[in-house]
Structure 1
Amino acid sequence: MVAVRVGCVAEFGDASVMRVERRAAPGRPRGTDLLVAVEASSINGTDLGLRRGDLPPVTWGRKPFVPGFDLAGRVLAVGPAVTAFSPGDRVAALLPHRGGGLAEQVLVAEDRAARVPAGVAATDAAALTLAGLTALQALHRSGRLRARPGPDGSPPRVLVSGAAGGIGSFAVQLAALAGAEVTGTTSAGKVAWVRDLGARQVVDRRAGDRHAQLVDRGPFEVVLDAAGRSRHRELAPYLARDGIVVSVRPLHPDVLRSLRPGRADFVAVRTAARSADLAHLLHLVATGRLRVPVEHVVGLADVARAHHLAETEGRGKVVVDLTT
């Protein structure tokens, strides 16, 4: 029996509960599944919530469970119904709600994967997947950014709350690429970093005059709560007429209270594993138009440290390298 290493959660708690085990490798792929040798997987806020026990049991199943929602690697074998990939292809993929990507081998459905272009590192592809898809779909599907011009046909104004995090750092860039005038909020030590990503204005979220600064820079056609921490009533004062607040946390109680029937100024994004969207993002990276803000790359043996870094630093992405 072939065994593979996995990073898993045996009990809920802080980052120290993460451990590495050996488990039986997945079997041969069936139907439209791919068997992928995982080279990298990144840590997302959902992984941290799973580890802490913040999310419902339907999400994680039984313990010990393997987190990880995005991955990049090479196809080892394909199911008999696969049409788009062959063994040896480099791929990135977004896994379903129960995760499992923090493992050396993973079965993934063909329609959740996209080919990784030459020149794009596996660590970048893995860091891009969930956070990048969420940012893209929040702006263009949930927020309908291109259908919300600014006053008198000027570029739309976008406010990204939590602009230094994984989702926020992609959202700032993608909104700027779409021609929007971007304002970001973050802590004081990250202001220059967020500006370098493409935000025209950056506001220290702890500044005493934060509200006045945002009012002065708005109103905004799209307000994205990229960290999933803000209440609708905190962000609504900055909205333009017919503007919209988009949250990345559809299950958060504050979000659920805001989703009243008929409400037109609030929506929660539900990230979809769309191969076309992922391929688009990877193309932007390959052509140098989208930067993947990888801050740390950590080996699987140090997965507890990877979780600690993702939880405490709050800037960019932390990636686990499964080849070391």
Structure 2
Amino acid sequence: MRAGWFAEFGDASVMRVGERPAPGPPRGTQVLVGVEASSVNGTDLGLRRGDLPPVTWGRMPFVPGFDVAGRVLAVGPAATAFSPGDRVAALLPHRGGGLAEQVLVAQDRAARVPDGVAATDAAAVTLAGLTALQALHRQGRLRARRHADGGPPRVLVSGAAGGIGSFAVQLAALVGARVTGTTSAGKVAWVRDLGAHRVLDRRAGDRDAQLADAGPFDLVLDAAGRSRHRELAPVLARGGIVVSVRPLHPDVLRSLRPGRGDFTAVRTAARSADLAALLHLVATGRLRVPVEHVVGLDDVAQAHELAETEGRGKVVVDLTT
């Protein structure tokens, strides 16, 4: 089968396309998926750069890819959730392998793709959408929060234009939260179009004053994993929470004054029910999938470069072209 892979760490130019061994028949509850689309995530970029070497030790050439969408080709003897021909999307474990024409997936990591949802959209929503959903509603308990004035909760999404951030803005707005997003100047209008009530240029000289005016926030989502303590502590409401896509440095934790809130990091889980809920929102037009670029498998190096440099929405590899 054809796949995208890298055999050494480096920039996007180390990505290659060629033949790799096809997976064997599905066993147990596995399903064999004919992959039609796979999106590029920050994890893929970090693995390619060598930022996460334990994942790739002894496994070069390494086929990245954690989001897949396609059709079930075969099912294992104990699989009960899907049949050949079903359209599915899935989040793969850390061994990756989604940037290939076929992949084995445990059925409890997959969900049906509704009619009318393109494979490119289904693949793009998987990891980023699950991370945003679980950060807001599982770690952040957004539905249970109210602002001190009795109004809707105030949510700050830092890195609002990225894959995770763009879903988080929409998901928070869907439950009535008042959403403020931070991004770079060229993406302000784009984030506002996603449903943010207020969008701040993260490089603006008066940004701290604008954050103070929009807050305090009942939930702060660090969607890019790069927030600094000086911007979190002053804007967090009493009893609020900071949720990050990665653990924050100890100085950030120390800066959160006693009684002013809590901190947690999201660890994305491949929950079929959560993925099905996201795909239903897409199918019913309530969740926009911010796919900015779709490229073919032969252009996978370009896909990685776009994902690394543009920082807006999602880049998807279409394996059918």
Change (3 A) 1:166 1:297: same
Number of corresponding residues: 318
2:221 is matched with which residue? Answer: 224
1:18 match: 15
SS in 2 for 1:21: strand
1:274 and 2:271 matched: yes
Hey, what does 2:86 align to over in structure 1? Answer: 89
Q: 1:257 to 1:183 in 2, by over 3 A?
A: closer
In the alignment, structure 1 residue 254 sits paired with structure 2 residue 245: no
| Matched AA of 1:271 | T
Question: Who is 2:165 aligned against?
Answer: 168
Q: Within 1, Cα distance between the matches of 2:175 and 2:111?
A: 22
**Secondary structure of 1:153's aligned partner:** coil
User: Which of 154, 157, 175 pairs up with 2:154?
Assistant: 157
Q: For residue 121 of structure 2, what is the aligned residue in structure 1?
A: 124
Deviates more, 1:314-323 or 1:59-68: 59-68
Letter in 1 for 2:172: A
Is 1:296 paired with 2:288?
Answer: no
SS at structure 1 position matched to 2:289? coil
Q: Could you report, residue by residue, the CA deviation over 1:70-94 in whole angstroms, capped at 9, with x for unpaired residues?
A: 1000000000101110000000000
Residue 210 (structure 1) shift: 0.3
1:76 aligns with 2:73: yes
Given residue 41 of structure 1, which amino acid in structure 2 is its aligned partner? S
Conserved 8 A contact 2:229-2:252: no
Unmatched 5+ stretches in structure 2: none
Distance change >3 Å, CA 240–CA 280, structure 1 → 2: same
Q: Who is 1:244 aligned against?
A: 241
- CA deviation string 1:180-234 (max 9, x = no partner): 0000000111000000000000000000000000000000000000011113453
- SS for the counterpart of 1:172 is helix
Superposed CA offset, 1:101-142 (max 9, x none):
000000000000000000000000000000000000000001
Give the drift of 1:59.
5.7
After superposition, the C-alpha distances for 1:156-203 in whole angstroms (9 at most, x for unaligned) are 000000000000000000000011000000011100000000000000
Taking structure 1 as reference, are residues 59 and 199 closer, same or farther at Cα in structure 2, changes over 3 Å only? farther
**TM-score, length-normalised on structure 1?**
0.95
Q: Partner of 1:133 in structure 2?
A: 130
Q: Output the CA distance in 1 between the equivalents of 2:136 and 2:67.
A: 20
Give, as a single letter, the amino acid of the residue that structure 1 aligns with 2:28.
G
Kindly indicate whether the alpha-carbon contact (under 8 Å) linking 2:281 and 2:287 is maintained by their aligned counterparts in 1.
Answer: yes
Q: Offset at 1:255?
A: 6.8
Q: Give the 3 Å change call, closer, same or farther, for CA 257–154 of structure 1 in structure 2.
A: closer
Distance 1:236 1:106 in 2: 44
Judged with a 3 Å threshold, the aligned counterparts in structure 2 of structure 1 residues 180 and 83 are, in CA distance, closer, same or farther, namely: same
Q: What secondary structure, in the 3-state scheme, does the structure 2 residue paired with 1:193 have?
A: helix
Q: Which residue in 2 is equivalent to 1:311?
A: 308
Matched AA of 2:162: G
1:159-238 mapped onto 2 (5 Å cutoff):
159-238=156-235
Superposed CA RMSD? 1.7
Distance 1:90 1:119 in 2: 11
Whole-Å separation in 2 of the counterparts to 1:233 and 1:25 = 50
SS in 1 for 2:180: strand
Q: Could you tell me the TM-score, scaled by structure 2's length? A: 0.96
Task: Please tell me whether residue 47 in structure 1 is matched to residue 34 in structure 2.
Answer: no
